[in-house]
Amino acid sequence: MTQDKFITFNLYALIIIISAIVFLIGLIVILRLYKTHKNQKKIKQIDAIGELVNNYLFNEELEKDALIKEFRSNNLKTKFEKKITIKELLGYYENFKGESLSQLSHLFRNLELDTYIQSLTESKKWHLQARALYVAGVVKLKAKEDIIENCLNHKRPEVQEQSLLYCLKTAENDPVSFLAKMNQPLTLWQQAYIENGLKLWYSGPTPDFSINLTHNEPSIVSFSIHLIAMYNQFEHIKQLLPFLKNQNEKIRSTTIAAFAKLQYKNILPELIRAFKNETPAVKKEILIFVQKFGDSTSLNSLKPFINEDLRLKLLFANSYQLLNPTSYSGPHSTYSLNTPNQL
């Protein structure tokens, strides 16, 4: 009896194992067939897009409205087809210029892909929203202002990034005016994106970077000061002077660096007076400023307030050597970089 139960158990176990193997093999085959079918559809869609673009842009004998109507009926029925179409058209955007690019923009809108992208910018799924903002930036599609403002303050950094890049790509003037709509700190990565975006995509008149100096977010104020210096906007020097006494350490540091870039030397006495009560980060910028525009006398007046910060000691020693090149007498000098503890 016991042996019969053992045989029955093994038989059931064997059936289960075989069934599992068959199921897995069947699943693998189905997935493989699905992937093959999807790839074939993708290739077919890409070929259809290529033919459409060539006929729309270069074949004057064909009726464009008929081409668009046929493509929309046969090749834009599913989200997959729309996704592939948009991706391929973006590739053409990168390679076309002038009249061809203008016609391609008309094609994008005539296919009603602009409406589709517009709907995705309002999606609750962050990855769809980020992708839609990227596309909208490339094709210069006007998105709703309230949507853009929400995206600029989105909890996902990917959406924030694409929204600020969208603003830069589509701006005709005032490319950084969108910063006024942000209520979150501007990260270093975002600052880099904006700075590079201004160089790569914006071709309008030089903006007035002082428009965000009254912003409530310190990081945006600091970044605006940096941009003023980078673009040599000397007309804003008077507006920057109060920021030397700002409560925010980063703003004070950036302001001093900005004055150094603008070569505004008049603040040297004020910086020397403020040095003893400043933080190490601000002291560093003051030392760099003195190195550029001061002399050995002004530098020596700072020596008692260097404290124990090794970086400040090294910077002071380097500054002293630059301002007094003939006084340096080798590795055992009082101001040698090799003996910072003697400062």
Q: In this predicted structure, what is the pLDDT of residue 6?
A: 66
Tell me the average pLDDT across 173-198.
92
Of 156 and 36, which is predicted with more confidence? 156
CA angle 59, 60, 65 (to 5 degrees): 90
Distance CA 161, CA 167 (A): 10
Report the percent of the chain where pLDDT is more than 70. Answer: 92
pLDDT in tens, 263-303: 999 999 999 999 999 999 999 999 999 999 988 888 888 88
The band of 343, judged by pLDDT with boundaries at 50, 70 and 90, is very low
Type of residue numbered 34: Y
Residue with tokens 């493989």: 32
Quickly list H helices, 59-125. Answer: 64-75, 79-95, 98-110, 113-120
Of 222 and 56, which is predicted with more confidence? 222
Q: In this predicted structure, what is the pLDDT of residue 33?
A: 74
The band of 14, judged by pLDDT with boundaries at 50, 70 and 90, is confident
Judged against a pLDDT cut of 90, whether residue 25 lies above it is answered with no
pLDDT in tens, 38-92: 777 778 888 888 888 888 888 877 788 888 888 888 888 889 989 999 999 998 8
Burial of 314 (0-12, 13-18, 19+ CB in 10 A): middle
Q: In this predicted structure, what is the pLDDT of residue 42?
A: 79
pLDDT in tens, 100-123: 888 888 999 999 999 999 999 999
